[in-house]
Amino acid sequence: MNEIALRLSQHLRTEAAEIGELAAVLDQIAVAGKLIARELGRASLIGQLGLTGDVNVQGEAVKKLDVWANDVMVRVLDASGVVCTMVSEEMDEPLHLAERCPAGQYVVCFDPVDGSSNLDVNGIVGTIFSVRRRRGRGIDHAAADAVQPGSAQVAAGYVMYGPSTMLVYTAGKGVHAFTLDPTIGEFVRSRQHIQTPGRGHIYSVNEAHAPVWAPGIREYIDYLRARDPASGRPYTARYVGSMVADVHRTLLEGGIFLYPGEVGADGKTSGKLRLQYEAAPMAFLIEQAGGKASTGRERIQDIHPASAHQRVPILIGSRDDVTMAEEFAAGRR
Ligand code: P6P
């Protein structure tokens, strides 16, 4: 009867003494995860696949489930009663719940369905979330709330919709995984205090972008491909195209996931992944598991966002692998 003792709701009650009302936020995210998992499971049967015809602030085509899942996240986080500002990939501006703010103390940044390009082919997608405390004071604090650095996070994680639905989170005391048991409708603890291996044997990157990668990255990938059994090479390649899936594998098996900076026609280097609700939450999680996350030049969690939808390059995974990649990126290898 382990599933009774190890339910997420029970776990959060025991943690509540230490994490306070953050437990209410995490509990609500679990509810959203159950609702989104149910909708994903029947999407192809109820016409929920495909595009809405709109384009989001990122300039990306919006899927019907992106909008639907965003609405679910907004409603369940509002219902927690303790969230006063929300930032979402699917909302151009931060959502500021003025009526919540006198009491509401949390700011939640999220990507409701990350990897949605996989939706129509029944691929793995996920919901990524990042929680900070309200920073600003007075009615105009929404702007300050939305651009806090990753180091201000008090919790972060994801819900992964795969063969099983898993919620993986950290509140600064290790990384814990809960698997949805559909027979009782509860997330049940499946792993606790996850530690990522110091070094892995898998690299994960979209190699089609190699011609425009920032300096040093192509040399790094060539290094990983080279045959040298004494140093554990070649690595093998895995790429799902869904950050939650690629980072979850890296968290458990080690290695490195990269979405490197890309050099544009103007000579400037830019990233694709969003800092506030993709890179920073995954960085908090991987560091709690003993791993590392950087842009290649600076620690992801140290970046002070210029805007709520800022994009960054990211190298994330095993400590030794990310350190090696940084050395190539800095031209020291
Ligand atoms: P590409 C999904 O759109 C996403 O934001 C991440 O989940 C994923 O890692 C990345 O973009 C995939 O990008 O350019 O390889 O399709």
Residue nearest to atom 2 of ligand 1 (CA): 115
Given 151, 172, 191, which residue is the final one in a domain?
191
How far apart CA 147 and CA 304 sit, in angstroms, is 7
List C-alpha distances in Å: 76 to 14, 178, 183: 22, 19, 23
Residues 21 and 113 in one domain: yes
> What pLDDT score was predicted for residue 302?
98
Using most ligand atoms within 8 A of CB, pick from 160, 243, 246, 315 the residue to mutate for ligand 1.
243
Q: What is the 3-state secondary structure (H, E, C) of the chain?
A: CHHHHCEHHHHHHHHHHHHCCHHHHHHHHHHHHHHHHHHHHHHHHCCCCCEEEEECCCCCEEEHHHHHHHHHHHHHHHHHCCEEEEEECCCCCCEECCCCCCCCCEEEEEEEEECHHHHHHCCCEEEEEEEEECCCCCCCHHHHHHCCCHHHEEEEEEEEECCCEEEEEECCCCEEEEEEECCCCEEEEEECCCCCCCCCCEEECCHHHHHHECCCHHHHHHHHHCCEHHHCECCEECCCCCHHHHHHHHHHHCCEEEECCEECCCCCEECCEEHHHHHHHHHHHHHHCCCEEECCCCEHHHCCCCCCCCEECEEEECHHHHHHHHHHHCCCC
Binning pLDDT at 50, 70 and 90, where does residue 3 land? Answer: low
Q: CA torsion, points 211, 213, 216, 221, in degrees to nearest 10?
A: -70
Q: Tell me the C-alpha distance between 218 and 327, whole Å.
A: 13
Q: What's the pLDDT score for residue 50?
A: 84
pLDDT digits (tens, 9 = 90+) for 92-106: 999 988 777 766 789
Asked whether residue 289 carries a pLDDT value surpassing 90, the answer given is yes
Q: How many angstroms separate the alpha carbon of residue 244 from the centre of ligand 1?
A: 10
Residue 299: inside a domain, yes or no? yes
What's the pLDDT at 98?
A: 77
What whole-number distance in Å separates Cα of residue 237 and Cα of residue 271?
21
Residue 229 included in any domain:
yes
Residues 280-291: what's their mean pLDDT? Answer: 98
Q: Is residue 138 predicted with pLDDT exceeding 70?
A: no
Lowest model confidence (mean pLDDT) among 42-56, 158-172, 183-197: 42-56
pTM of the predicted model, to two decimals?
0.96
Does any domain span residue 70? Answer: yes
| Ligand 1 center–CA 100 separation, angstroms | 33
**Is the confidence at residue 16, as pLDDT, over 90?**
no
Query: Could you tell me the residue range of the domain that residue 63 belongs to?
Result: 3-191
Residue 119 sits in the same domain as residue 162: yes
The CATH number of the domain where 82 resides is what? 3.30.540.10
Q: What's the gap in Å between 241 CA and the centre of ligand 1?
A: 5
How many Cβ atoms sit within 10 Å of the Cβ of residue 104? 20
What's the rounded Cα separation, in Å, for the pair 62 and 99? 29
Q: Is the predicted pLDDT of residue 266 greater than 80, yes or no?
A: yes
Domain termination site, one of 191, 218, 241:
191
Task: Mention every residue, 6+ apart, whose C-beta is less than 8 A from residue 93.
Answer: 308
Looking at the structure, do residues 245 and 143 belong to the same domain, yes or no? no
- Which residues surround ligand 1 with Cβ inside 6 Å? 114-115, 117, 206, 241-243, 246, 259, 273
- Assess if residue 297 is contained within a domain: yes
Q: What pLDDT does residue 206 have? A: 98
CA 242–ligand 1 middle distance (angstroms): 6
Looking at 161, 191, 221, the residue that finishes a domain is: 191
Of the residues 246, 272, 276, which should be mutated to test ligand 1's pocket, given the most ligand atoms within 8 Å of the CB? 272
pLDDT of residue 29: 98
Q: Has residue 137 got a pLDDT over 70?
A: no
> How many domains does the chain contain in total?
2
pLDDT at residue 316, rounded to an integer: 99
Is the pLDDT confidence value at 308 over 80?
Answer: yes
- Within this chain, do residues 76 and 129 fall inside the same structural domain, yes or no? yes
Distance 50 CA to ligand 1 centre (A): 17
**Of all protein residues, whose CA lies closest to atom 4 belonging to ligand 1?**
115
Q: Is the pLDDT assigned to residue 1 strictly greater than 60?
A: no
Whether residue 154 is found in the same domain as residue 221: no
